[in-house]
Amino acid sequence: MIPMIRQDLGLDLKTISYLSTVTFGTQVILTIPVSIAANKVSPKYLIGFMLIGVAAGSFLHGLAWTMPVIIIARILLAIGGSGLNGPLALIKDSWVPMKKITVVNGYEQFFCNSGQVIGTLLITALVGALGGWRNMMYVLGGVASAAAIVWFASYRENTEHPVELSAEKESFLIPLKDALKEKSIWLLTLGWPGTTFVWIAFMTFWPTYATENLGLSLTQAGIVTGMIPLFSAISCLLAPQIANLIGKDKLMLWPWGIVLCVVYFAGINVSNFPLLCVIFAIAGFGAYAFVPIGFSLPFKLGTLSPAAINAGIAFMITFMNLGGTLASILVNSLMASMDLKSALTICCAAPLLWTAFSLFLPERGREYQERIEKAQ
């Protein structure tokens, strides 16, 4: 909806692009504190209040007529989504067998991306049907409110294996210190920002580039951009199955940084609409093919407590969001001395950071797990 908000409020591209910086910046600041709270507070209340925050932010966003009010709304939305993975990690540890953790992570990421699919691929039609982007935000606020009610009403504990919260007197830093002793947490943390950086750079700036330089209409640019979350959602379902089939997780980790580098570069040098749809479909698949597997690794290491897994994932997500935060800042800085195409071309190299670090991750795929079981 960025082009629509920009037109409605009369904002330039540089100003409106900082909305993503505000969102990701807030998440960078809050992800670890929220994960600490997740180790002390029941997921029932933490996730419920996050959904309430999303509802409040959505309603305020729809009411906003100035940039400062939209920024406040974005902060509320970011607070609502800043630490969701923390309490979810505790819930998965309580309910999900280790053999199924990668598949469950895939389902989780699938539903997360399904919302982005609706928000990009169908946004023009939805906004038109609802009578404007403001009404769209009101509907999102209503959905989040309903989700909060359903969550509070339906949440149940696993009586056989309840969620493990940290002891009241235990230092909140102990789980984080335990997580940071693991080399794999650092490798995931340092490599992942490269993929979120290029994702946000293209989701924020590419639609404008496409309409102004490639001759695409706003509807066509929305469809092409929508290929990214659409095929990201598909990859979340297929990638865990592919990894299980080949028996090696690492083959579904490091190669995607190279693939993303190539396809994003193609996306700024091709103007054919059908071909762009194919290119961005590959980009979408590659952007999330490694995500369920990467998020499963802290569980599979076998050396971390549930609280440490939560803290480690929060640490990873903080740096992932940092990549998204820096995207708009860096692209705007580059545009001070070059055109948008050149700036996006430089961004295409960012996913190689993921490949460079994920090459050194340990193998914890199906074949490895089977060898461990036989040895026991």
Question: What pLDDT sits at residue 238?
Answer: 94
Tell me, yes or no, whether 329 lies in a domain: yes
Tell me, yes or no, whether 364 lies in a domain: no
Question: What pLDDT sits at residue 138?
Answer: 92
The pLDDT confidence band at residue 116, using thresholds 50, 70 and 90, is: low
CATH classification at residue 98? 1.20.1250.20
**What type of residue is 293?**
I
Tell me, yes or no, whether 166 lies in a domain: no
Percent of the chain, pLDDT > 70? Answer: 93
Say if CB 290 and CB 234 are below 8 A apart.
no
CA angle 273, 216, 256 (to 5 degrees): 50
Structural domains of the chain, count: 1
Q: CB count, 10 Å around CB of 54?
A: 23
Tell me, yes or no, whether 375 lies in a domain: no
Q: What is the pTM of this model?
A: 0.78
Question: What pLDDT sits at residue 82?
Answer: 67
The pLDDT confidence band at residue 108, using thresholds 50, 70 and 90, is: confident
Quick one: tokens of 365? 């795929």
Domain assignment of residue 206, given as a range: 2-154+171-359
Tell me, yes or no, whether 83 lies in a domain: yes
- Residue indicated by tokens 């461990």: 372
Q: How far apart are the C-alpha atoms of 325 and 342, rounded to whole Å?
A: 20
Tell me, yes or no, whether 372 lies in a domain: no
* Tens of pLDDT, residues 169-203: 666 678 889 999 999 999 999 999 999 999 989 98
Tell me, yes or no, whether 73 lies in a domain: yes
* Burial profile 99-109: b = 16 or more Cβ within 10 angstroms, e = fewer: eebbbbbbebb
* Tens of pLDDT, residues 236-271: 999 999 999 999 999 999 999 999 999 999 999 999
Tell me, yes or no, whether 118 lies in a domain: yes
* Tens of pLDDT, residues 210-235: 999 999 998 899 889 889 888 998 99
Say if CB 60 and CB 4 are below 8 A apart.
no
